[in-house]
């Protein structure tokens, strides 16, 4: 039996490790590592409790250390090492059930548990504006019983003669208490983001086990049900760092241009972007800032200016109008979503159809955070787009990266609900 348990436990742990490896290969989004510590209490549920819910009279403390990795927007993988004490004592329930005062069974064990679990988050993990993140948890692992004690030495067996209790206790003693058990923890929990690196965690887990001898009594108790235990804990998760998959060539850094200062409305309610030709298109993106134009022609007139009379008589041909794309990102993230992939796929099609085309990737951020931090984030957003294009055969010499930090907002910085428009990469095709 013990050999079988060790074998199954090993398989469980290997499957957990293999799942992580596969998830890293398939998932291209950024992953976060968190180190955690929790403390709480554990309740034993088995042959020495008066109800199926266990008893609060034998609640014991416990602690847990966790290492978790965010795999994608809804799934995390967590490794946990927990240490807890479990206890059952007939003498604490004798007032409600008289026979327990005569039976006088007692056990106490310290259990060390190693588990691998998966956590499914109901909300988008990468959206850091969503501070409250509830999740479901399920996993498997092994528990090691340390310092196990059981005692029936004070039992009045004559009172239980009809039930042949003495023989049942002797049978349980012959079997002995297990040194290792299988455990399947399932439950609910949530993280609450305190700041960029700290999360408050609360978690409740119910452990199904493979043994009815967690308390050392089976035949003498109820041998039709295994023993279980559950617990509730609170703790802290600390962000260790960020890791992105794949290695790519270093990008060409482009100096950040210094835009003209923002003008203010007379009533000082909101910033206005410079617009010399008053065509409603900000000078920062207007390709013809001295002439009124339309957004369709990037701020230029629909019909180009006539050539001078001294020029050869020929019909002036307008430059082809190349489409532009905008890739949007979640707060403080540089991971592509479905819409981003779709836009970049169209860019790839156009670049492959016309080898003379080049592409400029202009990264931007919202107004939160320092200029330096946002510069790194805007460059990272441009780079992830460049990496995707390069992965489909686009020569990196045709790709230019630019990073603007928070200096060129597309939406009014004063309106929080519009800040998603500023977390972007502008994709510009050029001849």
Provide the pLDDT confidence category of residue 1 given band limits of 50, 70 and 90. Answer: very low
Domains of the chain, start order: 29-243 (2.40.160.20), 266-317 (no CATH), 322-431 (3.30.1330.60)
Structure tokens at 350: 């156009």
List of E strands, 122-179 = 132-151
Contact 353, 307 (CB under 8 A): no
When pLDDT is cut at 50, 70 and 90, the band that residue 285 belongs to is low
Here the tokens at position 171 are: 């049978």
pLDDT tens, 4-37? Answer: 444 444 544 444 544 444 443 333 334 578 999 9
pLDDT per position as a tens digit, 317-332: 555 567 788 999 998 8
**What are 222-281's pLDDT values in tens digits?**
888 899 999 999 999 998 865 444 344 444 444 444 444 433 334 434 344 567 777 766
Residue 316 has pLDDT above 70, yes or no: no
Share of the chain above pLDDT 70, in %: 75
The gap between the terminal CA atoms of the chain, to the nearest Å, is 73
pLDDT exceeds cutoff 50 at 88: yes
Phi, psi of 388 (to 5 degrees): -65, -45
Higher pLDDT: 310 or 419? It is 419
How high is the pLDDT of residue 19? 43
What's the CA gap between 218 and 229, in Å, rounded? Answer: 16
Average pLDDT along the chain: 79
Q: How many Cα atoms sit within 13 Å of 294 on the Cβ side?
A: 7
Residue with more model confidence, 291 or 425? 425
User: Residues with Cβ < 8 Å from 332, sequence gap 6 or more?
Assistant: 128, 196, 369, 377
The β-bridge relationship of strands 132-151 and 106-121 is antiparallel
Which residues, 6 or more positions from 78, have their beta carbon under 8 angstroms from its beta carbon? 66, 67, 68, 69, 116, 117, 118, 119, 137, 139
Higher pLDDT, 263 or 338: 338
Question: 134 or 301, which is more confident?
Answer: 134
Cβ atoms of 203 and 186 within 8 Å: the answer is: no
DSSP code of residue 179: S
For residue 270, what pLDDT is reported? 39
Position 267 scores a pLDDT of: 40
H helix runs in 150-266, sequence order: 165-175
What's the pLDDT tens digit per position in 185-232? 999 999 999 987 899 999 999 999 998 988 989 888 888 889 999 999
């Amino acid at each position: 039996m013990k050999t079988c348990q060790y074998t199954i436990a090993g398989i469980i742990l290997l499957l957990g490790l293999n799942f992580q490896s596969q998830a890293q290969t398939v998932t291209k989004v950024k992953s976060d590592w968190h180190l955690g510590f929790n403390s709480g209490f554990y309740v034993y549920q088995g042959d020495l409790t008066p109800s199926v819910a266990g008893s609060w009279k034998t609640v014991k403390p416990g602690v847990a250390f966790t290492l978790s990795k965010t795999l994608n927007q809804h799934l995390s993988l967590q490794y946990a090492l927990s240490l807890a004490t479990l206890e059952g004592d007939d003498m604490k329930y004798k007032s409600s059930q008289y026979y327990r005062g005569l039976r006088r069974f007692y056990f106490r064990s310290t259990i060390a548990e190693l588990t691998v679990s998966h956590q499914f988050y109901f909300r988008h993990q990468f959206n850091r504006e969503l501070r409250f993140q509830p999740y479901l948890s399920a996993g498997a692992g092994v528990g090691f019983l340390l310092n196990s004690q059981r005692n029936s030495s004070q039992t009045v067996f004559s009172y239980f003669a009809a039930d042949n209790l003495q023989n049942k206790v002797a049978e349980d003693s012959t079997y002995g208490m297990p040194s290792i058990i299988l455990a399947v923890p399932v439950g609910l929990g949530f993280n609450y983001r305190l700041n960029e690196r700290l999360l408050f965690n609360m978690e409740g887990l119910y452990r199904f086990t493979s043994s009815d001898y967690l308390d050392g009594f089976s035949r003498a108790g109820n041998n039709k049900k295994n023993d279980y235990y559950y617990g509730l804990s609170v703790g802290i998760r600390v962000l260790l760092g960020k890791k992105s998959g794949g290695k790519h060539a270093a990008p060409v850094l482009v100096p950040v241009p210094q835009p003209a200062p923002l003008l203010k409305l007379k009533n000082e309610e909101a910033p206005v972007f410079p617009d010399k030709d008053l065509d409603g298109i900000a000078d920062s993106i207007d390709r013809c800032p001295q002439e009124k134009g339309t957004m369709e022609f990037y701020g230029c007139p629909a019909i180009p200016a006539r050539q001078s009379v001294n020029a050869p008589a020929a019909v002036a041909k307008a430059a082809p109008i190349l489409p532009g794309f905008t890739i949007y990102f979640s707060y403080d993230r540089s991971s592509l979503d479905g819409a981003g992939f779709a836009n970049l796929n169209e860019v790839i099609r156009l670049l492959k159809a016309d080898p003379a085309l080049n592409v400029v990737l202009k990264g931007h951020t919202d107004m939160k955070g320092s200029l330096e931090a946002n510069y790194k984030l805007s460059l990272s957003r441009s780079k992830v787009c460049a990496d995707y294009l390069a992965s489909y055969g686009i020569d990196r010499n045709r790709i230019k990266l630019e990073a603007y930090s928070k200096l060129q907002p597309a939406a009014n910085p004063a309106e929080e609900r519009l800040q998603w428009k500023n977390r972007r990469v502008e994709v510009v095709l050029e001849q």
